A and B are shown apart, each in its own frame.
Chain A
Amino acid sequence: MKRSAIILSLLIALIVSGTFSAKAVAEAIYPDPEKNITIVVPHAAGGGTDLIFRKLAEEMKKVSGVNFLVTNITGAGSATGTNEVINNEADGYMLLAAGTHTTAATMQGLTDGYKKLDYIAALNWDPFIVAVRKDKPWTSLQELVADAKSRPGKISLGNAGMGGATGVASVGLNLAFGKVFNVVPFNGGADLIASVLGGHCDVGIFSQSEVVANINSFRPLVILSEDHSPLASLASVPTLDEAGYPEITVPGGSFRSLMVKKGTPEVAKKWLADTAEKAFYSASFQKFMKDNGLIPAFYKLEAFAEYDKGIIADYEVILKEAGLYKMTN
């Protein structure tokens, strides 16, 4: 019996000591330096959005010493990943890689999206480029539109998926040009590039890095932003104004930001916004944005909430006109 008593007391001692000491260490304020902070990217690993947040996570880790992880939760446009953040605790340990895709998904009624999220930091814009394969006959946007108007529905305009920002941009363009294009959604950017390069789809809406990777085979027609591309190889691509369509406004790029679930403690939000700010202005992240032609647009907390109101207003018009607007209440 003696032996069992020893074992028993040993076990109890182990549990008690283990539990308490662990608990004591755990009672730290936000952020718990040992906990991981997860950034949910609602798009596939390796894509444009994913890369920006992987780079940012790396920098945030460096400036704060806390481990930032990126996890990809794809599906239903970007709604599945957004819902994951909304369905989790509002403790500040899970961030959403938000942006125009969140705005689009929320308005299409796929998720409660920004209605249930709080603003942390706005990051940057990646302007879209409309491009065709080099051997196609159109050398400017006007030629392309004229040809499309002469035979409506015969020229296909591909996007990287209906739920996302390229989907909205393609629908917006098509509306602006009198619905003469055959808008076709593809399964992500890679699928679209391959189809345009292979000649299966005539025109595509790409992000800049996608065009740069195949600059020898693509002919960029227009950049959907107000200014020229910051990238040397694309700097000569005209804007919509210069291409002869100053009256057209489409959401011309994908915007990326960080958001958390509504109800996250103020301390956590402030800490995250400050960390994001430091990471954003780090030399390495600035260089990354420059190399990839990303246009910086940093705002944090309330300033970001204000900024997002403008984006929401722009989107509302186009989505309503296109019949995509399904948000209730």
Chain B
Amino acid sequence: MDTLLQGFMQIANVSTIVWMAIGSIVGIILGALPGLTATMGIALMMPISFRLPTATGIGLLLAVYCGAVSGASIPAILIGIPGNPNAIVTVEDGLRMTKKGKAGQAIGGAVVASFIGGIGSMLALMLFSPLIAKFTLAFGPAEKATLALVGLAIIASVSGDNIWKGLLMGAFGMCLAFLGTDPFSNQLRIPFSKYLATTPLSKGLDLTSTLIGLFGVSEVFIGLKKSFVGGQHVEPVKIDHIFPPFKKILSMWKIILSSLGIGILIGAIPGTGASIAVFMAYNMAKNIAEHSNGKLEKLGTGALEGVFAPEVANNAVTGGALIPTLALGIPGDSSTAVLLGALIIKGVTPGFQLFTTNMSLVYAIFITLLIANIFMALFQLLGVRLYPKVLEVPQQILLPLVLILSFVGAYAVAGQATAVGIYNLGIALVMGLIGYFLKRDGYPIAPIVLGLILGGMFEENFRRAVKLAGGNYLTFFTKPICLLFMALAILSIILPIIAKKRGKR
């Protein structure tokens, strides 16, 4: 109790609150702008945090982190471009809700969901840190490879009506993931490697630029399909029922809890991240909704459930990723890696020792995480009535603006590196065209993204696991977690097919 009080005293000052408020606003803006990621924002704020007391500095960084993760849902819902990879899945139902005229509800719901995810994961961090950290270590290369397999099995559920289209897209995405350098031999795996070796292509496709191309740039070309002539009638956007009714939230308790659990666990496993967690949470929510006897809306139709699942999950990742960071000194994702660095520069050694020698700082970090989540929800709600105004801009003007924002976003991923930035522009344009042709013929885009995210993770860990076992491919069948995951992967492919057949009868 004494340490808790000490921790509280470390941050009970005006400067902490002010800096965290600034961090939160900066984070939300950063998240909402395509291409600027949470990791980049934290790295950008690091020099400021050096000059502040440790707890205040970490609070500032956490505020940026939470804000950026949640702010990314705004453009995803309004114009279908995920602000950063955390919000890929939010596009699915979020954009559909907007098209139904429920943009306000979607954004409001996303804020509430983010808040639930953030607070839930904070509680997990406070109460179960040592336990989850231990569990995290059970994840070796073999386990991660099979985890990636479970993720890939989700392709079936995000493929729309034709499963072959989904599978083809998933395979295509994985092939794209293999571009770049071989993780084991550092050999180049790019076409015309003789000439392109020193170009940024040697590191493969950048995920964020690819996403922006597939989602944003392609949307502009598709928007051109409709004629502008005759002056488009723009409907004024109605903003009502921003807060989802309490009853509605209660009815979704299964979705919320499962998304929370997925977010925390995936966040806590190093080498994974929010982009995987959101897909898994969405898939789980889809199954839950299908077996709810009509109490919940079907996902993929513009349902609030479809916004809730990924938004709870991606904010749950924040607390989850902090677990191994604080308890073991192993960052759960790239954002927490920077946080860890900030702690080390401050002279604090995270890891087991932190909990025994400097518990008051740990408590201070917990409390700042709570404040960060409150600020995140507060500042986003202040703007909820404002953001949807974007939709009142006529298409002729909105489309070029979407295009330029997409381009700038793809470019900005590289930060100060202009050569990489221009290369990313090229990726966004090419991916935009590919995305346009695919969408036009009814091919789903989400499996490409899944393949791209999981392809590299699967290949690397698969090879590492086999190598560790001295070339024995059966190693996957000797580990209980792997067996469980493989069973899960198979089930998640088979069950929907059975359900569909039953439905037809």
Write the residues of chain A forming the contact surface with B, with a CB cutoff of 8 angstroms: 36, 38, 40, 44-47, 50-51, 54-55, 57-58, 61, 69-77, 79-81, 83-84, 86-88, 94, 108, 110-112, 153-154, 156, 161-163, 182, 184-187, 190-191, 193-195, 197-201, 209-210, 212-217, 288, 291-292
Contact = CB atoms under 8 A, between A and B. Distances in A.
A212 to B, nearest CB: 6
B344 A51 contact: yes
B288 interface: no
B352 A46 contact: no
B381 interface: no
A-B CB proximity, top 6 nearest: A75-B203, A200-B140, A46-B337, A213-B329, A198-B137, A46-B341
Contact of A80 (B138, B202, B345): B202
B203 A80 contact: yes
Given A184-B468, A187-B271, A75 B415 contact: no
A36 B416 contact: yes
A189 B142 CA distance: 18
A200 B476 CA distance: 13
Contacts of B172: none
Given A83-B202, A162-B185, A190-B330, A51 B468 contact: no
Given A194-B270, A200-B140, A46 B339 contact: yes
Q: Is the interface of A mostly helix, strand, loop or mixed?
A: mixed
A54 B416 contact: no
Given A84-B420, A112-B198, A75 B181 contact: yes
A80 B200 contact: yes
Contacts of B340: 46
B419 interface: yes
Contacts of A195: 140-141
B198 A111 contact: yes
A74 B200 CA distance: 10
Interface in B230-272: 270-271
B331 A46 contact: yes
A70 B47 CA distance: 10
A155 to B, nearest CB: 10
Given A45-B337, A200-B468, A217 B140 contact: no
Contact of A216 (B42, B204, B352): B352
B418 interface: yes
Contacts of B183: 161-162, 185, 187
Interface residues of B, number: 61
B402 interface: no
A71 B270 CA distance: 22
B417 A40 contact: yes
A110 B197 CA distance: 7
Contacts of B385: none
Given A156-B468, A193-B328, 14 more contacts: A46-B338, A46-B340, A55-B345, A72-B43, A80-B200, A83-B419, A88-B418, A162-B184, A182-B467, A182-B470, A213-B349, A213-B353, A214-B351, A291-B347
Contacts of B415: 71-73
A156 B464 CA distance: 11
Contact of A214 (B184, B271, B352, B419): B352
B454 to A, nearest CB: 14
B139 interface: yes
B275 to A, nearest CB: 16
Nearest to B351: A213
B50 interface: yes
Contacts of A291: 347
Output the residue of A58, A77, A195 with the most chain B CB within 10 A. A195
A217 B352 contact: yes
Interface in B181-212: 181, 183-186, 188, 197-200, 202-204
28 contacts: A36-B416, A45-B337, A46-B338, A50-B341, A51-B344, A71-B417, A73-B414, A79-B181, A79-B202, A87-B198, A87-B419, A88-B417, A108-B186, A110-B197, A112-B198, A162-B183, A162-B184, A162-B185, A186-B464, A187-B271, A190-B337, A197-B137, A198-B136, A198-B139, A200-B142, A210-B329, A213-B353, A214-B328
B47 A58 contact: yes
Nearest to A292: B344
B297 interface: no
Interface string B99-133: 00000000000000000000000000000000000
A195 B345 CA distance: 25
Contacts of B347: 291
A194 B328 contact: yes
Interface string B452-463: 000000001000
A111 B181 CA distance: 12
Given A54-B345, A190-B337, A201 B468 contact: yes
Contacts of A186: 464
Contact of A193 (B186, B197, B330, B339): B330
A188 to B, nearest CB: 9
B180 A212 contact: no
B324 interface: yes
A86 B345 CA distance: 29
B350 interface: yes
A208 to B, nearest CB: 11
B113 to A, nearest CB: 28
Contacts of B374: none
A77 B181 contact: yes
Contacts of A162: 183-186
Contacts of B405: none
Contacts of A214: 328-329, 351-352
Nearest to A57: B47
A153 B419 CA distance: 43
B39 interface: yes
A216 B417 contact: no
Contacts of B419: 83-84, 87-88
B438 interface: no
Contacts of A216: 352-353
A46 B420 contact: no
Contacts of B464: 184-186
Contacts of B141: 195, 200
Nearest to A167: B186
